[in-house]
Structures are given as structure tokens and as C-alpha cells.
Amino acid sequence: MKTSPMLKCRETKGNESEWFSNHYPVTGTFKVLFYVNGNKEKNGIVPVMGRVTINGSVAQFSCKQTIAKGLWDAKGNRAKGKSREAREINLALDNIKAQIIRHYQRLSDREAFVTAEMVRNTFQGLGTEYKTLLGAFDKDNESFKKRIGIDWALSSYKVRVRSRNHLATFIKKYHRRNDISMLELTPDFIKEYEIYLSTDAGLHNASVWSNCMWLKTIVAKVHYNGLIQKTPFAQYRVSQNVKEREYLTEDEIKTVMTHEFANRKLAYIRDLFVFASFTALSFVDIKELTTDDIAEVNGEKWILSKRHKTKVNFQVKLLDIPLQVIRRYERFQKNGLVFPNLNYWSICKPLKQMIRECGISKNISFHSSRHGFATLALSKGVPIESVSRVLGHTNIVTTQKYCKITTEKIDKDLTVFGDRLNQSFHEISIAM
């Protein structure tokens, strides 16, 4: 036979402490009591209120019940007597208490840190699933997923999923639970997670920083929406400590361009790298580049396309050097592809060998060509806004991370600035 909520409450009444001790081996207190608010008395009628107390945290709520002030038993926390009104009110209060106990049980099964407010909010239907860390991460990832192909790439979504899974593994391993409450987040938790990523997970500095930043983003959104009062990142700083990506200087690019390779494959890899260095195209964008993407504007050749990663439109003028590369392999074009049959592993893996053969000891990847382009363009006076457009970035801040302002560039700019100042101030002397 199914036990009624009222009977359940009566069964636990008087031995609640023992019952909870058997089911929840934690220290502290859990209490539910009822009282009337005499300050809101109207014509002898007062509202009935409830109060949840858990380990010193207190949350109050309205029971949606009223009673004649004279019928209330302050000591027993219930209505006096056996009148119909008293029985109905006591039944309602028993049901409320039973619900609160059930909510407390479910929260305690999932959370290591349960507050009276959490129980009260759950009872009132406000819910707490979004207040769990992985719950918030999953919710945000679902929203992110809907933007794939619009302003974000599938690869970016996969990065977020991996970050979420790292966090889940950490919580499972070191906290022995499937999720934790947002209220448990502290700077210490974040620091421990950072250490876990660099040790147990074996991630490099850049990846550690990236995963911590994803976590910070999630927590910031929850805080902004008012679901947590403060963010644990407020007094915590994640150190990026990332080694700058190497790139080829102008002289090194010239060395690569003029080197004569005995191996024809290395020469082909060199040509593709040079093409990328003067167009800022990523490997996948070169791989997908078609003859239809090349248009003539005002008598000159331009690449007009969308970046594979972000689906952002970009345009770049084909200068003499990349045009030379296209013409060199024009006869091999097929299916509309400018450079057909490109395979990442067959091109990018031998790239380091090609660089070494040129006498350059730098750790260069194919992606380094984009950094090199940005640096070279800036050093020649191209505005960062134009560089950002060519790179296909959605945010100029991203461009700033790519761009390395050389000492030569700074020296040149300051010299020009000094010459202009001298022209303007040459007749002015500082007064004695």
C-alpha cells in the first residue's frame, strides 16, 4: 500500500535526527518548522510561514495558508484541536514538510553542500539543475551547438565538449561525484583543477589555460544571470604562461623561397607554405580553394571566400608571389580545385624537414604562416583592421594575438614620429 505524505511525516516525527543520521552520515542540523506572521494579522487572521534550517543557513517561505491567530499552537508548530479547519491546515503542513524532506534527500544525494535556500527554491519549483557546474556547462554547450555553421565551427564545439569532459573526469576522480553545486566553487577548486589538467591530464600550458578559460566563461554567465552571488574567479588569475608561436621573419621567408630542393615533394611543400605566407590562408582553406573563389576586381586577382573554421567572409588580393605559385601548378588543377589532392599529414608533417633543410632551426608549423603574414603586413604599415579582415577574424582581439610587432617596426614608427615632431617643434625651446 502506498504511504501518504502525511503518514510519512508522522512516521519520521520525533525521530527525524535518527532517520537522517542513518541515511545521511553528515554532521549538522536539518529542521523544518512552521509559524505565523503576526505582523501581517488582518481581522484576527494570520498567514502561516515555513522555515528550513540546514547547518546554520535559513530560508523562509509562505505556506499559502491562513489561520485564526487563536487556533495556532506556537509550541507545536501546528493548528490546535480537531476542527475541520485545523485538520485541513495540518494536513497541508504535513504535505509541505514531506515534500521538503524529499527535496532535501534528492539534493543530498547529488550535492555535498546543501543550503536551506537550495531546498526552498527546489520546493517552490525554481529548480537547481542549472546551479550545478556540469549542468551549466551542458546548457551552454547546447546553445553553442546551435550556432555551428553560423558564426562558429564544429571544431570549436568539439573543443568545448572536451573541456567539459575534462572537468567531469576531475570531479569524478577527486570529488567522487557526478556533478557539484556552483556554491562549492572556490579559488582552491579552480587551482586544483588547473593542477589536474597539467599533471593527470598531461596538457600543455596553452591547453590548461584554454580549459580554465572555458570554465571561467561558464561561471561568469551563471554569475551574470544572478544564479550565484559571487564568482570564485574574482580573486583568482589563471596564468597563461604560453610560449609564443614561432614564425619566419622576412629574411627567413626569402631564404625558404630561394632554396633549391633536390626532393620535389619538399619543393611543393615549400611552395604551399609560401602561398600561405602571402595570403594568410590556413591549410584547410588552401585545400578547399577553388578556381571560382578567385575573381578579378579592377583588373587584379582576388580570393573571395569564407573561412572554413568560422564561416566568416574574407578577401585577399593575390600578389605576384602567390600568383606565381598558382601558375606553377595550374596544369595539375582538377575538379575546380586550385591545389587538388592535398592531405594534411603528407604536407604538414614533412614541413619541419623542409624548414630544417633551409638551415632554419625554428619550430615551424603550417599555421605559422598566418602569424608570419600578420607580422610582415604590420611591419610594412598595413593597418591592423585590414590585417584582421584578411585573416578572417570575427574579433580584432584575435588578430592582436597573432601579430608580433617587431623591434624594427617600432623603431621605424618612432623615427617617423620623431621627424614629424622635430618639424613641428624645431623653433621651440624649453624655457630656463
CATH code: domain of residue 173: 1.10.150
Task: Give the closest residue to 151 by CA, choosing from 313, 279, 290.
Answer: 313
Contact yes or no for 186/232 (Cβ under 8 A): yes
d(CA 165, CA 189): 16
| Position 62 in a domain | yes
Cell numbers placing 192 = 586544483
296: CB partners within 8 A, 6+ apart: 302
Contact yes or no for 246/368 (Cβ under 8 A): yes
| Position 138 in a domain | yes
**206 and 259 share one domain:** no
pLDDT value of position 429: 54
**72 and 173 share one domain:** no
| Position 421 in a domain | no
**118 and 149 share one domain:** no
Contact yes or no for 390/305 (Cβ under 8 A): no
pLDDT value of position 239: 59
What are 50-89's pLDDT values in tens digits? 999 998 889 999 998 999 999 999 999 999 998 999 999 9
**81 and 172 share one domain:** no
| Position 49 in a domain | yes
| Position 136 in a domain | yes
Residue 51 β-bridge partners: 33, 60
**114 and 133 share one domain:** no
**119 and 20 share one domain:** yes
| Domain edge (last residue) among 123, 140, 172 | 123
| Domain edge (last residue) among 123, 142, 177 | 123
Task: Give the DSSP letter of residue 78.
Answer: E
Pairing of strands 313-317, 300-306: antiparallel
pLDDT value of position 9: 37
- 290 CB-side CA count, 13 A: 8
Cell numbers placing 368 = 605559422
**106 and 162 share one domain:** no
Alpha helices (H) in 2-83, listed in sequence order: 5-12, 16-23
Contact yes or no for 310/153 (Cβ under 8 A): yes
**376 and 284 share one domain:** yes
**60 and 138 share one domain:** no
| Position 233 in a domain | no
Cell numbers placing 382 = 598595413
Predicted confidence pLDDT, tens digits, the chain (432 residues): 333 333 333 334 444 444 444 444 444 588 999 999 989 999 999 999 999 999 888 999 999 899 999 999 999 999 999 899 999 999 999 989 998 998 888 777 766 678 888 888 777 765 544 468 888 899 889 988 988 887 778 888 899 999 999 999 998 888 777 887 777 777 778 888 888 898 888 888 878 888 888 888 888 887 776 666 677 777 666 555 545 568 898 899 999 999 999 999 999 999 999 999 999 898 989 999 999 999 998 889 999 888 777 777 778 889 899 999 999 999 999 999 999 988 888 888 899 999 999 999 998 988 888 888 888 887 777 887 888 777 777 666 666 665 555 555 556 666 776 677 677 766 765 555
Which residues constitute the domain of residue 274?
250-414
Alpha helices (H) in 131-232, listed in sequence order: 133-145, 154-175, 187-198, 205-224
**293 and 321 share one domain:** yes
118: CB partners within 8 A, 6+ apart: 107, 111, 128, 131, 181, 183
**83 and 197 share one domain:** no
152: CB partners within 8 A, 6+ apart: 144, 310
Query: How many other β-carbons are positioned within 10 Å of the β-carbon of residue 285?
Result: 21
**212 and 265 share one domain:** no
| Domain edge (last residue) among 174, 190, 224 | 224
CATH number reported for the structural domain that contains residue 292 in this entry: 1.10.443.10
| Position 115 in a domain | yes
pLDDT value of position 21: 42
State the total domains in the chain.
3
| Position 429 in a domain | no
- 331 CB-side CA count, 13 A: 1
